[in-house]
C-alpha cells in the first residue's frame, strides 16, 4: 500500500477542467446578452411602414380566418426579457463558480493498494467492493482534503 502527498492546490488546480469548461461558456453567454441588448425596433419611411402595415393586416385577416390566435407585442417583449434574465443569471453563476476555483487549501494525496486497506471509514463504504465490481483488490484513488470551511463549501458546490 502506498499513500503519497502530491501537494497543495486551489480548487481550480485540483479540477482544471471545471474552469476550462466555464471559461469557454462565458463568451457565448456574453454574446447572447449583447445580441439581446442590441434589439431595438426602428421606424422606417412612411410608405414602407404603410406597405408593411397592409401586409401585416392581410396576414392578421388570414390568421383570423384560419382561427390562429396571435400573441401581442407585450408577450414577445416578455419572452425577450426572460431570455435576458436567464442569460444574465447564467453569466452570474459562471462568474461565481470561477471565483470559487481560486479557493486555496486543498491537499491532494494519492493511494495505491488493496481497497480493503484504504481505511476504516472507506472500508465501511467500499469494503464490499466498488460500485459495479466485486470485493477488494488492487485499487487507486485520489483524495482531496481541506481544513478550511470556505474551501470545503466551495468543493461541495462542485462535487456534491
For residues 119 and 1, the answer to whether their CB atoms sit within 8 Å is no
If residue 71 lies in a helix (H) or strand (E), which one and from where to where? Answer: none
Read off the pLDDT of each residue in 131-153 and give the average, rounded to a whole number.
Answer: 74
Calpha distance 155→151 (Å, rounded): 6
**Nearest-5° Cα angle at 148, 142 to 150:** 105
- Provide the pLDDT for residue 70: 67
Is the pLDDT assigned to residue 85 strictly greater than 80? yes
The answer to whether the predicted template modeling score (pTM) of the entire model surpasses 0.75 is no
Amino acid at each position: 500500500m502506498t499513500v503519497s502527498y502530491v501537494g497543495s492546490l486551489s480548487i481550480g488546480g485540483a479540477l482544471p477542467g471545471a474552469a476550462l469548461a466555464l471559461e469557454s461558456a462565458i463568451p457565448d453567454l456574453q454574446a447572447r446578452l449583447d445580441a439581446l441588448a442590441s434589439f431595438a425596433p426602428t421606424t422606417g419611411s412612411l410608405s414602407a411602414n404603410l406597405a408593411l402595415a397592409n401586409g401585416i393586416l392581410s396576414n392578421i385577416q388570414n390568421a383570423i380566418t384560419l382561427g390562429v390566435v396571435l400573441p401581442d407585442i407585450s408577450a414577445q417583449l416578455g419572452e425577450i426579457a426572460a431570455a435576458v434574465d436567464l442569460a444574465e443569471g447564467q453569466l452570474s453563476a459562471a462568474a461565481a463558480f470561477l471565483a470559487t476555483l481560486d479557493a486555496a487549501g486543498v491537499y491532494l494525496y494519492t493511494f495505491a493498494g488493496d481497497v480493503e486497506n484504504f481505511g476504516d471509514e472507506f472500508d465501511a463504504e467500499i469494503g464490499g467492493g466498488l460500485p459495479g465490481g466485486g470485493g477488494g483488490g488492487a485499487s487507486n484513488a485520489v483524495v482531496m482534503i481541506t481544513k478550511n470551511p470556505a474551501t470545503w463549501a466551495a468543493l461541495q458546490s462542485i462535487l456534491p
